[in-house]
Amino acid sequence: EIVLTQSPGTLSLSPGERATLSCRASQTVSSNYLAWYQQKPGQAPRLLIYGASSRATGIPDRFSGSGSGTDFTLTISRLEPEDLAVYYCQHYVSTPYTFGQGTKLEIK
Amino acid sequence: VQLLQSGAEVKKPGESLKISCEGSGGSFSDYWIGWVRQMPGKGLEWMGIIYPGDSDTKYNPSFQGHVTMSVDKSINTAFLQWSSLKASDTAMYYCARGWQWLINWGQGTLVTVSS
């Protein structure tokens, strides 16, 4: 089973700044089979990125994904107050798929 | 496809439960449905996926034997059920559409198990 470790646990930034969230896998995530989700307080998660770098429908281009192998990054440029959320990565190399433990993004 | 989940449930340990996830606005049988658990204040846990077309299922071993996924294509609905609930089953349960990445999600069903 692939274990995903996200860092940092909490990130506190100001509007307009850039956020860089990390997701590290315990083994190679083949074919870049990695997705990112956003979960705002009290809401269901929402798909942001799949295939490590492809934005889901309706996701602003402020959100971008990159990486390969065992190291992946979600970047949010030009933070807005509405980006307050917990962000999760998830692999889908083989079942059981797993999620990272999440990074909480706070907006100052 | 939009997913609408059944309402919150309060149960006692040992009781059975079946929650639902109804799809609308598309071809329900063409897409896998996944289930995700979120315990209070915790992260997301992938429980498994089911294909409505033929009821093929893939369980997370951590959940296999304790929960059962099923579908009824005739009413575009997927189900998650327990035969004997435990207090540790208290959580929000989400259904979501997708085989690999989870494209769109239901609103969640809160299950509370308490004596």
Q: Mind listing the pLDDT tens digit for each residue in B69-104?
A: 999 999 999 999 999 999 999 999 999 999 999 999
Pairing of strands A63-68, A10-13: unpaired
Residues B73, B64: Cα–Cα separation, whole Å: 22
**Cβ contact, residue pair B100, A92, below 8 Å:** yes
Q: What is the pLDDT of residue B1?
A: 80
**Cβ contact, residue pair B44, A102, below 8 Å:** yes
Candidates A95, A98, A101, A103, partner chain B, best to mutate (most B CBs within 10 A):
A95
- Contacting B with CB below 8 Å, chain A residues are 33, 35, 37, 39, 44-47, 50-51, 56, 86, 88, 90, 92, 95-102
Put residue A67 in one of left, alpha, beta given phi > 0 → left and psi -120 to 50 → alpha: left
Q: Which of A33, A45, A47 is opposite residue B44, by nearest beta carbon? A: A45
Q: What is the pLDDT of residue B65?
A: 94
Q: Is residue B29 scored above 90 in pLDDT? A: no
Phi/psi for B75 (5° steps) reads: -120, 20
Q: Mind listing the pLDDT tens digit for each residue in A58-95?
A: 999 999 999 999 999 999 999 999 999 999 999 999 99
Q: Mind listing the pLDDT tens digit for each residue in A31-55?
A: 999 999 999 999 999 999 999 999 9
Q: Which of A33, A47, A98 is opposite residue B103, by nearest beta carbon? A: A47
Q: How many CB atoms neighbour CB B29 within 10 A?
A: 13
